[in-house]
Amino acid sequence: VKSGKTSLINALIGRNLLPVNSDVATARVFKVINSLDGKDHFNLVYANGDKEAITQEQLAIYGSQSTIDSTGQSDLKKTISYIEVQTKVDFLPKGVSIIDTPGIGSTYPHHTVITKQFIKLADATLFVMNPTPLDSIELDFIKEIASISPNMMFVTTKVDLETENTINA
């Protein structure tokens, strides 16, 4: 939780497109794929495979926990599996996507469940972490990921903040 996963993905795609917040932000999975026509397209993808087009402004309404908490859940007749974000990402070949998942160990236990479901589908994982010691929840999660998806890389974010804290201490 709050390790900078979404901010990292926004940096990788070169745009502040996915919603971020100082509170718990990501409540749903965002699947980022390269747009073949170079235009942005956003869809809710339901568990039954149906898609519903949404606007960029609606990304936070459907996918950000802080927005859901402050405005209430939008009236949905179906369960959202993930939010598809098609945008120009030249380095992503066809068939390859970047998945942004909710954090683990938050006050919302279903976020961990959602993340674990999508890890099973991954060919590789990036474990994004703060520059602080890992807690037992994170260590257990790493072991679980390694048993499912052995192609794991680690990314430390917010190193600049840790350096500032160390200098100011």
> Model confidence over 56-76: pLDDT tens digits?
999 988 887 655 555 555 555
- The answer to whether 42 and 83 are in contact (CB under 8 A) is yes
Which of 79-93, 111-125, 152-166 comes out lowest in average pLDDT? Answer: 152-166
pLDDT at 130: 85
- The answer to whether 105 and 137 are in contact (CB under 8 A) is yes
pLDDT at 131: 86
- The answer to whether 51 and 45 are in contact (CB under 8 A) is yes
- pLDDT category at 38 given cuts 50, 70, 90 is very high
Helices (H) and strands (E) counted in the chain, each on its own, are 6, 7
The structure's pTM equals 0.80
| Pick from 22, 136, 31: nearest CA to 80 | 31
pLDDT at 150: 80
- Count other Cβ atoms within 10 Å, centred on residue 135: 10
**DSSP, res 26:** B
Does position 27 have pLDDT exceeding 60, yes or no? Answer: yes
pLDDT greater at residue 66 or residue 87: 87
Which of 9-18, 38-47, 50-59, 152-161 comes out lowest in average pLDDT? Answer: 152-161
Phi, psi angles (nearest 5°) of residue 90: -55, -30
Single-letter residue type at 46: Y
- The answer to whether 65 and 108 are in contact (CB under 8 A) is yes
Question: Which helix H or strand E contains 127, and what residues bound it?
Answer: strand 125-129
